[in-house]
Amino acid sequence: MAATEEVPKTYVEATTLQDQDEWKKAIASELESLIANKTWKLVPKPAHQRPIGCRWVFALKRDEKGQVVRYKARLVAKG
C-alpha cells in the first residue's frame, strides 16, 4: 500500500488525496458495517429539535516498521 503520511481531517480531504481509493474503500466498509449491524433506524424528527450531527474520523494503522497496514474510517456522532 503506497500512502501519503497525511491523515485527512475531513471527508473532502479523504476523497481528494493521492490515496483516495483506499480512503473510499475504508468509508464504504464502515457504512456497510453500520447497515449490517442495524446501528440506527430512521424516524421522523420531532418538532423543535435538531438532529445529532456526525463527522468522519480517519486513521492509519501501521505495522512495527511504520508501513501502512490499514486505512480506517469511522462515522461518529457530534456532541
pLDDT in tens, 53-79: 999 999 999 999 999 999 999 999 997
Do 78 and 51 form a contact (C-beta atoms < 8 A)? Answer: no
Model-level pTM?
0.85
pLDDT tens-digit readout, 11-56: 999 999 999 999 999 999 999 999 999 998 889 999 999 999 999 9
Query: C-alpha grid cell for residue 7?
Result: 491523515
Sign of CA dihedral 33, 38, 39, 40: positive
- DSSP states along 27-54: HHHHHHHHHHTT-----PPPTT-PPPPE
Q: Which of these, 49, 4, 36, 40, lies nearest to 23 by C-alpha position?
A: 4
